[in-house]
């Protein structure tokens, strides 16, 4: 079986790859299948995610990291893999382990340590190509890289046993989104040091003392976690389809 690899990079020119962790079970979404395969607007959730990434010309390829025993992807998304959409069944028990395994696979397929990787949640399926382009534009010239994020607008409450314990200061706080864009080698080093407990790539870089760039994201780029999230995403996708027909 042919395994697609990246063409040789031109001297001094870093390339961009996307990496989509797709090995989770998504128990909170209340679906029979892992949530990335839940049906939205007639297609599996992850299909919408990958369609958006495929429409970003500056992405050399997108690597989808599946669980070793995954049988759903090929059944629900047949024929999707090609020279720019790569699959690897090397996912781990945590997001960090899955991303680390994906980084090693990218390097095996020709990505260099200085190339960029954009890690994006499969469950942020409302992604738009323009938002990815915005992140790439902001980070290509940055020494660290960065992430899409939103300044917090809501008042934050610290809870204890179901009641408010105190109100937290929200000034200067942002809600992290994805994609998160960093150099392949540096992210690999950061995850190796941070361990499996980190929940996003930026926090692993922060543990090395780096200060990732915050790039304004969009409210629609939310992560589908609960059953009501799927209902909202379905309505938004239907609205987009209606607007596209006009």
Q: How far apart are CA 65 and CA 105, in angstroms?
A: 9
pLDDT value for 126: 97
49: helix, strand or coil: helix
Cβ pair 222, 45 in contact under 8 A: no
Angle at 127 between CA 68 and CA 139, to 5 degrees: 95
pLDDT value for 7: 75
pLDDT value for 144: 98
Q: How far apart are CA 89 and CA 50, in angstroms?
A: 17
The class (CATH top level) of 16-148+176-245 is: alpha beta
pLDDT value for 29: 45
In the chain (246 residues long), the average pLDDT of successive 10-residue segments reads 75 90 68 86 96 98 96 94 95 96 98 98 97 98 97 94 95 96 98 93 97 98 94 93 75
**pTM passes above 0.75:** yes
Q: Domain segments of the chain: what residues?
A: 16-148+176-245
pLDDT value for 13: 86
pLDDT value for 57: 97
186: helix, strand or coil: helix
Q: How far is CA 44 from CA 38, 78, 146, 164, 203, in A?
A: 5, 12, 28, 38, 29
């Amino acid at each position: 079986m042919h395994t697609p690899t990246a063409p040789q990079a031109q001297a001094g020119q870093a390339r961009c790859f996307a990496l989509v962790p797709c090995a989770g079970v998504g128990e909170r979404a209340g679906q029979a299948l892992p949530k990335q395969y839940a049906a939205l607007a007639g297609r599996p959730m992850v299909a919408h995610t990958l369609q958006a990434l495929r429409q970003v010309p500056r992405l050399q390829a997108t690597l989808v990291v599946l669980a070793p025993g995954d049988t759903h992807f090929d059944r629900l998304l047949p024929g999707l893999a090609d020279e720019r959409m790569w699959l690897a069944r090397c996912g781990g028990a945590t997001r960090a382990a899955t991303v680390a395994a994906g980084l090693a696979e990218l390097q095996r397929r020709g990505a260099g340590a200085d190339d960029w990787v954009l890690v994006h949640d499969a469950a942020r399926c409302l992604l738009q190509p323009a938002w990815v382009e915005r992140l790439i534009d902001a980070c290509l010239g940055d020494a660290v890289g960065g992430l899409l994020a939103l300044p917090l607008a809501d008042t934050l409450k610290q809870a204890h046993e179901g009641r408010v314990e105190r109100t937290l200061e929200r000034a200067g706080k942002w809600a992290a989104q994805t994609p998160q864009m960093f150099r392949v080698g540096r992210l690999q080093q950061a995850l190796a040091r941070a361990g499996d407990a980190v929940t996003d790539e930026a926090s692993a870089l922060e543990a090395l003392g780096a200060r990732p760039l915050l790039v304004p994201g969009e409210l629609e780029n939310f992560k589908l976690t609960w059953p009501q999230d799927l209902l909202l995403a379905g309505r938004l996708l239907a609205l987009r389809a209606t607007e596209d027909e006009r």
